[in-house]
Amino acid sequence: MKLIVTENYEEMSQQATEIIIKTFQSQPNGLYCFAGGDTPVKTLQLLCKAHEEKLIDLTQAYYIELDEWVGLDQTNSGSCLAYLKKNLFEPAHIPLDHIHAFNSLSKNLVEECQRANQYISAHNGLTLTLLGVGVNGHLGFNEPGVNPNYCAHIINLDEITQSVGKKYFDTNEILSQGITLGIKQLMESQIVIVEANGAKKHEPIQRVINGDIDIMCPVTIINNHPQAYLIVDRAAIKGDD
């Protein structure tokens, strides 16, 4: 795992973007997975800018959704798919048949997991995965204590995740389950980038830097990855903004 410490959010986003651009240039037809949430927004914007400037062609690659809230319609503005459409797929005009998303309203969520697993296998694994990290250390919806050998699966969400998630929804409904790619698949990605900014991410980031590998703080598993990048701002390192 390589640690990259930046001065601020903008520089963090730029550092991540440079790695991703190089990967798209060398593997334009690869399978890419980008997290939702506040952290990756600027990175996705910079990727779209690089696409507009013809430094890369985002339309040739394939994409798979990292996770989704079980029971939330994909058209809801708080869904992970809606986020990716707004920040990446629509601005870059990604073909619909190059996108694999979870149907979190499906009556057969196990089948949804199998579909995701098959899609990844058909593309010979993930090329690059861009992740944020939860305040509890989760990656995607892989919550503390998750089985690291799982592929895509359904999971009961940590109370912290449920609480933080409310800010994304235009509904008062509490969503207690998620569907997510598994730690096994993320760790098999050729390249993994974890972005973290702000003092609230200090505790899980410090555990990674300390060299911990503890599934009760899932992000620490990247210490086992041969080509993982942890890109953080100084606030996440110091623990104050």
**What tens digit of pLDDT does each residue of 181-192 get?**
999 999 999 999
Q: pLDDT exceeding 90 applies to what percent of the chain? A: 87
Q: What is the pLDDT of residues 218-237, one digit of tens each?
A: 999 999 999 999 999 999 99
Number of domains in the chain: 1
Is residue 128 situated within a structural domain?
A: yes
Write down the pLDDT at residue 68: 96
Q: What is the pLDDT of residues 44-72, one digit of tens each?
A: 999 999 999 999 999 999 999 999 999 98
pLDDT of 103: 96
The domain in which residue 104 lies consists of: 10-196
Residue 50 lies in a domain: yes
State the pLDDT confidence band at 171, using cuts at 50, 70 and 90.
Answer: low
In a domain, 221, yes or no: no
Q: For residue 47, tell me if it sits in a domain.
A: yes
The chain-wide mean pLDDT, for the chain, equals 95
Rounded to two decimals, what is the model's pTM?
A: 0.96
**pLDDT reading at 174 higher than 80:** no
Residue indicated by tokens 């060299």? 211
Instruction: Tell the burial category of 99 from Cβ atoms under 10 Å away from its Cβ (0-12, 13-18, 19+).
Output: middle
**Do 239 and 199 meet the contact criterion of CB atoms below 8 Å apart?**
yes
Residue range 22-34: mean pLDDT, rounded: 99
Asked if residue 226 is part of any domain, the answer here is: no
| CATH number for position 125 | 3.40.50.1360
Q: Is the pLDDT of residue 139 over 80?
A: yes
Q: Does residue 79 sit within a domain?
A: yes
Whether 124 is in a domain gets the answer: yes
SS (H, E, C) the chain: CEEEEECCHHHHHHHHHHHHHHHHHHCCCCEEEECCCCCCHHHHHHHHHHHHCCCCCHHHCEEECCEEECCCCCCCCCCHHHHHHHHHHCCCCCCHHHEECCCCCCCCHHHHHHHHHHHHHHCCCCCEEEECCCCCCCECCECCCCCCCCCCEEEECCHHHHHHHHHHCCCCCCCCEEEECCHHHHHCCCEEEEEECCHHHHHHHHHHHCCCCCCCCHHHHHHHCCCEEEEEEHHHHHCCC
What is the pLDDT, as a whole number, of residue 163?
A: 77
Question: pLDDT tens, 72-89?
Answer: 888 888 899 999 999 999
- Give the pLDDT band (50/70/90) at residue 169: low
Mean pLDDT score, 208-225: 97
Asked if residue 217 is part of any domain, the answer here is no
